[in-house]
A and B are shown apart, each in its own frame.
Chain A
Amino acid sequence: MTAVQVWQFFLSGLTTGGTYALIALGFSLVYNATGVINFAQGEFVMLGGMITATAIAAWGLPLWLAALIAVAITTVVGLVLDRAAIRPARHSSVVVLIIITVGASIFIRGLASIIWGPNERPLPAFSGEAPIVIFGATITAQSLWVLGATLVTALIMWAIFEYTIVGKAMRACAINPHAAQLCGIELSRMVSWSFALAAAVGAIAGIVLAPITMAQYNVGTMLGLKGFCAAILGGLGNGLGGILGGLVLGVLEALGAGLVSSQYKDAIAFIVLIIVLLIRPSGLLGREGGDP
């Protein structure tokens, strides 16, 4: 095992890690606004990739327009999920809400398999297939797109939460819903916003990832669970923590798959999750003693 190989695993891990980070961001957005762990988050990722691939292949649209349509449709799906299933059950127990989001994820996946069938959908890389060499390791240009999208999305999210009224109101709701309502913030509107943003972020992750892994109706489940892992790893509800968690998870997974065993790649994320929960139960950047 040479240093170049490790460096190679590190770089490819960073790429998948970027996707996990975006998914984790979606988990945190919904969790902060509602306290709900949205197990349908992975399906937003699937929808983003599938809709873009279809729009390009079947309708012949340019990439930017296809991506825009994918984000828009996924956002609507997120809003409908909130209105139809989460809002009526707002005051139910955590278990009930978990089952509802899992039911929603099964429902969306089932519809996707009927609409698109079981085949994988290829999506061409955004800027060619030529590999780029960085200190002896090669990565594709698409990997840079993933990392770039992660960075830009994270910055946009940060700007929204820091500088816009809606973002500040959402933060207020996360800190104390009752006090926020007393200040005249309409909680249900903020919840809608958080679902819309989470769905959009998920769709973006799906779009930039699709050229690397191909889009398929059933990719959402595992991606969602890994993103959830990343969110916990970084401290659930902590946006920056989620991004850090995603990148760490992606790198550890790639290193584990490359150095230990590629067969158990899918288990590595969860082994890391359990070890972290045992050592540092509130996650890497979570508050000490905070409730997940």
Chain B
Amino acid sequence: MNATAETQPQPVAENEALVMARRRRAQKLQILSLFALVIVLPLAVRNSYYIHVIIFIGLNLILATGLNLLMGYAGQVSLGHAAFFGIGAYASGILTATYGWNAWPAMLAALVVTCLVAWLVGRPTLRLKGHYLAMATLGVGIIVSVVLRQWVDLTGGPAGMKTTGITTFGWELRSDADVHYYYFVWGWVCVLTILFANLVESRPGRALRALHDSELAAQILGIDTAAFKVRAFVISAAYASIAGTLYAHSSMRFISPTPFGFQTSIALLVMVVLGGQGTLWGPVVGAVTITFIQEFLRPFGEWEIVVYGLILMVLMVVMPGGLARGLGMLWHWGRERVGRLRAARAGGGA
């Protein structure tokens, strides 16, 4: 590495600015193509089951994008992110179904509650070194899932509770047309993706990336690393809360504690790691892959979780750097093999 850096001319500052501008333009193009795909996809996919799966991919994508900010940019791990998903879902579910609120203010209230919890947990733990946040979030995740199960008067307990739909100025999203909900969820995905892309390219985003690479160096540059980590944590919880509210008001009109437990928190971790941490497209790859794996395994019955556990282990052992890097390495390895074979054949012919 060092030897090549010495022999090659150092890139000038102008060039770097140019590269950055080009990357941003490419990113804009990529997001626009995501928009286009989102708009035309329901025209190609008529099957309502697949639409349902794609809605789920959208929700997982929002969750994974938020977690990606925390893991890939701020370098912290959350083992209880499903809790924020759950708070978002139950807070707005209870406010609408039990107290008759409209879904929009309920969503805002859920967001405030989630952010508050995240701030209360994150502020003291993120000042410490190491993986204290991971442990504290593991605790929060389990406390929330126990509360969702046990506070029967409020949450309906393990049996779950009915929720309402989303009404905007008297116009309600219908529960029988999944396509409406599809556009609604993916509209949110697009907005939140753009927000994320802008955030990581902005000054706070660069600060986060600096502290991901070296907390000490970031501190020397005058970055208040603890404050930035808390902000990243609260924002990632906010993303989870929005996904939760969207889930609560989906066409099922029903929520139960099961999807907000430890297993979901782990699935979210896998999505971020598998897609490649700290990239814009990592969560997309991760959310699509894991959602499809989970759906694909459903018919396996009692073997479902055995195979799922095996897949998690194998994926992480074989591709610890994520799917993109893993496939890239596989591609290189294949090309090398082919090249060697060709060379051998050429050598044999001569």
Q: Which residues of A contact B (CB under 8 A)?
A: 85, 88-89, 92-96, 98-100, 102-111, 113-114, 221, 225, 228-229, 232, 263-264, 266-267, 270-271, 273-274, 277-278, 281, 289, 291-292
A95/B125 in contact, CB under 8 A: no
A104/B136 in contact, CB under 8 A: no
Q: Find chain A residues with CB under 8 A from B199 CB.
A: none
5 shortest A-B CB distances, which residue pairs?
A: A103-B312, A107-B309, A106-B309, A110-B306, A270-B139
Judged by DSSP, the binding face of B is helix
Interface size grouping (class) on chain B: 35 or more
Proximity string of chain B (256-272) to chain A, C-beta cutoff 8 Å, 1 when within and 0 when not: 00000011001001100
Instruction: For the complex formed, measure the closest distance between the CB of A268 and the CB atoms of chain B, giving whole angstroms.
Output: 9
A95/B130 in contact, CB under 8 A: no
Q: Find chain A residues with CB under 8 A from B71 CB.
A: 95
Of all chain A residues, the one with the shortest Cβ separation from B301 is A114
Q: Find chain A residues with CB under 8 A from B124 CB.
A: 277-278
Of all chain B residues, the one with the shortest Cβ separation from A105 is B309
Q: Find chain B residues with CB under 8 A from A98 CB.
A: 77, 79, 134, 269
Besides A108-B309, A266-B142, A292-B130, 14 new A-B residue pairs in contact (Cβ under 8 A), listed by A number: A92-B320, A95-B71, A95-B269, A96-B316, A106-B306, A106-B312, A109-B309, A110-B303, A110-B305, A267-B143, A267-B146, A274-B136, A281-B132, A291-B131
User: Measured between alpha carbons, how far is A258 from B310 in the docked complex, in Å?
Assistant: 40
Proximity string of chain B (52-78) to chain A, C-beta cutoff 8 Å, 1 when within and 0 when not: 000000000000000000010000010
In the assembled complex, B138 has its CB within 8 A of some CB on chain A: yes
User: Measured between alpha carbons, how far is A89 from B269 in the docked complex, in Å?
Assistant: 17
Instruction: For the complex formed, measure the closest distance between the CB of A106 and the CB atoms of chain B, giving whole angstroms.
Output: 3
Instruction: For the complex formed, measure the closest distance between the CB of B324 and the CB atoms of chain A, giving whole angstroms.
Output: 15
B136/A107 in contact, CB under 8 A: no
Q: Find chain A residues with CB under 8 A from B146 CB.
A: 264, 266-267
CB within 8 Å for A85 and B313 given contacts A271-B139, A274-B140, A292-B132: yes
CB within 8 Å for A110 and B309 given contacts A221-B262, A263-B150: yes
A85/B317 in contact, CB under 8 A: yes
User: Measured between alpha carbons, how far is A277 from B142 in the docked complex, in Å?
Assistant: 16
B313/A107 in contact, CB under 8 A: yes
Q: Find chain B residues with CB under 8 A from A107 CB.
A: 305-306, 309-310, 313
A277/B125 in contact, CB under 8 A: yes
A281/B128 in contact, CB under 8 A: yes
Interface residues of B in 282-324 (CB under 8 A from A): 302-313, 316-317, 320
CB within 8 Å for A267 and B273 given contacts A105-B309, A277-B136: no
In the assembled complex, B21 has its CB within 8 A of some CB on chain A: no
In the assembled complex, B129 has its CB within 8 A of some CB on chain A: yes
User: Measured between alpha carbons, how far is A232 from B133 in the docked complex, in Å?
Assistant: 13
A99/B269 in contact, CB under 8 A: yes
Chain A CB count within 10 A is highest, among B71, B134, B309, B313, for B313
A94/B136 in contact, CB under 8 A: no
Of all chain A residues, the one with the shortest Cβ separation from B274 is A99
Q: Find chain A residues with CB under 8 A from B303 CB.
A: 110, 114
Candidates B121, B150, B263, B320; contact of A264 at CB < 8 Å? B150
User: Measured between alpha carbons, how far is A94 from B124 in the docked complex, in Å?
Assistant: 22
Q: Find chain A residues with CB under 8 A from B310 CB.
A: 103, 107
B266/A278 in contact, CB under 8 A: no
User: Measured between alpha carbons, how far is A263 from B110 in the docked complex, in Å?
Assistant: 25
CB within 8 Å for A291 and B313 given contacts A96-B273, A111-B306, A232-B135: no
User: Measured between alpha carbons, how far is A114 from B305 in the docked complex, in Å?
Assistant: 10
In the assembled complex, B227 has its CB within 8 A of some CB on chain A: no
20 pairs of residues in contact across A and B, judged by CB atoms under 8 Å:
A85-B313, A89-B316, A92-B320, A96-B316, A98-B79, A98-B269, A99-B273, A99-B316, A100-B312, A100-B316, A106-B263, A106-B306, A110-B304, A264-B147, A267-B143, A267-B147, A274-B140, A281-B125, A291-B129, A292-B132
